[in-house]
Structure 1
Amino acid sequence: MTVTLADVADRAGVSPATVSRVLNGNYPVAAATRERVLAAVDELDYVPNGPASSLAAATSDLVGILVNDIADPFFGIMAGAAQSAIGEGGPGRAGGGEKLAVVCNTGGSPERELTYLTLLQRQRAAAVILTGGSLEDPGHLAATAAKLARLADGGTRVVLCGRPPLPGDTTAATLAFDNRAGARRLTEHLLELGHRRIGYVAGPADRTTTRHRLEGHRAALAAAGVPEGPAAHGRYDRSSGYEATSELLRLDPELTAIVAANDTVALGVCAALRDRGLSIPDDVSVAGFDDLPFSVDAVPALTTVRLPLHEAGVRAGRLALGTEPAPPGGLATVPAELVVRGSTGRPRGWPADAGG
């Protein structure tokens, strides 16, 4: 049964004229009303009548790049690299000519993520790139998978960059970071140095990236027969690292090392330790994740796990253009590399010639 504009208006509880204004974008509409209309469009999978509907499988020159936080270098690096790769398209080049790459900042909101996907579907985007980990909520995952399937059915290329594949999804080309292996190798490094009391500052508990990194950390401890130290969850930002450090040291004042969810969190950990008069790494070793550009300039330079964010972004852009073939089976695992710097060392009193 064909869904009409009147059906959308009825679902949203507004007039057909209001729906038209929202879809055409030619008249100001209250934000709450606009969200209701777009939600109804999404739920009913409404396709406007007229010339556009006859082009359901055609796409525009628009590419959407979804990020959680454009101010976070983790996302900024990938988005910038993808934009540059997409900019390689042009007259006479592969990829179908010039494309307009637009960065869509979700602020970590699952509702905003789905809204952007709806808007990109309406614009018949040539491609959509979703970056970073996803929310571990079955309802949201199912809604996202359904939306991506509809985008793909309309001719939109779908690329996941730094995000694990969605359950049951066969539409997306996926570049998944090996967060588990990276976190495991980082913890093994600390164990080899002699650390046995290791705290962990994790990211938000409902994110795939958080869970995978924490699983890798715990797997290394279990393999070595070392009990898990205290852990705290928080945001992927400096203040979270600072606040969590006080809690970890309250739970175990004898900690000799702290692993942070990412490099930005690690900066907060370092600041909190310095404010308590503790030396890094002599009193407490600190390690991060991602190898963001500032990590090498921290004092001391930060031991971390390097993810090839720029290279992954470039690949995502080329996959979006179709100038790079999709990986076998649609999935490529992007390896993580341990980078040892000055922020980690042997625990105080550990013999210099002792083994791990």
Structure 2
Amino acid sequence: MAPTLVDVAARAGVSTATVSRVLNGNYPVSPGTKARVLAALHELDYVVNGPARALAAASSDMLGVIVNDVSDPFFGILSSGIQWEAGGAELLAVICNTAGSPEDELKYMQLLLRQRARAIVLTGGGREDPDHAERVAQLIRQCHERGARVVFCGRQAPPDSEAVSILFDNRGGARALTRHLLAMGHRRFAYVSGPEANTTTTARAAGHRDALLAAGLEPEDGAALHGDFSRASGFAAGMELVRRGVDCTAVVAGNDLTALGVMAALREQGVRVPEDVSVAGFDDLPVAMDAAPALSTVRLPLREAAARAGRLAIGADDMPGPDGLVWLSSELIVRESVGPPGRGLASTARL
């Protein structure tokens, strides 16, 4: 019986996806691994099935972009930049909204595979769930076997999937933001984060905690709330902080939209920002500069990330090193929503 791709992979000690990459030349493979695969092909006298290979490699002029919600400016900037790069390569970008659902993320990956998309870009944070990560990894392997590229923009690809990842320094940015608040004199904080079990939520909360612990402070559980990164959830969190009478002089939010919702709730309750309570966000969306007061935040290079993700997806940029990771830095942006400690939330809110 003629040897199969599985036989070659077993002989070389690699995955079938790696063998496919060597045969198709569509993804970089380390010289040592490539040499083992070529040796296994030679030893087993493996013959490429030309018609089957051509069929498997056939792809459409489609590039899929999977986002949480394209109406969210964070994802709007990313999807717009990726679409611009795709259009320059005469590819049709299809935007798929998941509303944060892990199952919908899998569904859209499967649908894009059925349509033989040339590439798939997954944006934003992801679910912290080993089972979900394995299912994503399986779909990535299917993409690679068909010659389709997969790029993650905003979170790391599952282990051993060999997809490319463009990563933001969420933890370092959050650490720098909280250090700034500490330098202004704040010692009593409330924190409004994003969805639980989300990679972006976890990284930003960890950076905030890093800075507090380094200053000898312990985060208070009663002053930490979860939202969904939307303005509405920020408003609800701000009202809940008032209801609880949380004793804080600064509210740190997991993103800008959440921070703007918190500011609206505090304003409704007669709390002045920053005279009574300081508020800070994350991302530096365009609206952050136009808020009243303008929002102190952390700037992420979203347009740079989108362009890089698009170019990697269409094959216009060289793949990064062996780890497949591209790290982009963050920048602290100081504006008027943060000032010295005021009287605090518990002393000023209308109950």
Give TM-score scaled by structure 1 length: 0.79
Q: CA deviation at 1:348?
A: 2.6
Name the amino acid aligned to 2:255. Answer: N
Q: Number of matched residues?
A: 291
Q: CA deviation at 1:54?
A: 5.5
Query: Equivalent of 1:137, from 93, 104, 129?
Result: 129
The question of 1:247 aligning with 2:247 is answered: no
Distance in 1 separating the partners of 2:317 and 2:54: 29
Distance in 1 separating the partners of 2:53 and 2:343: 73
Distance in 2 separating the partners of 1:279 and 1:248: 15
CA contact (8 A) 1:236 1:265 kept: yes
Q: Deviations over 1:231-251 (max 9, x none)?
A: 001111112111112333444
Q: Deviations over 1:91-134 (max 9, x none)?
A: xxxxxxx2111111112121111111111111211111000010
Q: Which residue of the partner structure matches residue 183 of structure 1? A: 174
The question of 1:75 aligning with 2:75 is answered: yes
Give secondary structure in 1 for the equivalent of 2:88: coil
Q: CA deviation at 1:57?
A: 2.0
Query: Equivalent of 1:318, from 311, 324, 335?
Result: 311
Give secondary structure in 2 for the equivalent of 1:269: helix
The question of 1:86 aligning with 2:69 is answered: no
CA contact (8 A) 1:67 1:104 kept: yes
The question of 1:224 aligning with 2:215 is answered: yes
Q: Which residue of the partner structure matches residue 110 of structure 1? A: 102
Distance in 2 separating the partners of 1:315 and 1:253: 42
Q: CA deviation at 1:297?
A: 0.3
Unaligned segments of structure 2, at least 5 residues = 1-50, 345-351
Please, what is the CA RMSD of the aligned residues? 1.6
Name the amino acid aligned to 2:153. Answer: C
Distance in 2 separating the partners of 1:142 and 1:347: 46
Q: 339-348 or 101-110: which moved more?
A: 101-110
Name the amino acid aligned to 2:317. Answer: E
Distance in 1 separating the partners of 2:169 and 2:55: 39
Give secondary structure in 2 for the equivalent of 1:286: strand
Give TM-score scaled by structure 2 length: 0.80
The question of 1:197 aligning with 2:188 is answered: yes
Distance in 2 separating the partners of 1:251 and 1:193: 25
Q: Which residue of the partner structure matches residue 341 of structure 1? A: 335
CA contact (8 A) 1:165 1:176 kept: no
Give secondary structure in 1 for the equivalent of 2:205: helix
Distance in 1 separating the partners of 2:101 and 2:75: 15
Which residues of 2 match residues 294-309 of structure 1 at below 5 A? 294-309=287-302
Give secondary structure in 2 for the equivalent of 1:222: helix
Name the amino acid aligned to 2:60. Answer: S
The question of 1:66 aligning with 2:66 is answered: yes
Identity %: 54
Unaligned segments of structure 1, at least 5 residues = 1-50, 90-97, 351-356
Name the amino acid aligned to 2:311. Answer: R
The question of 1:278 aligning with 2:271 is answered: yes
Q: 227-236 or 127-136: which moved more?
A: 227-236
Structure 1 consecutive aligned stretches of length 4 or more whose deviation exceeds 6 Å = none
Q: 229-238 or 337-346: which moved more?
A: 229-238
Q: 115-124 or 64-73: which moved more?
A: 115-124
Name the amino acid aligned to 1:126. Answer: R
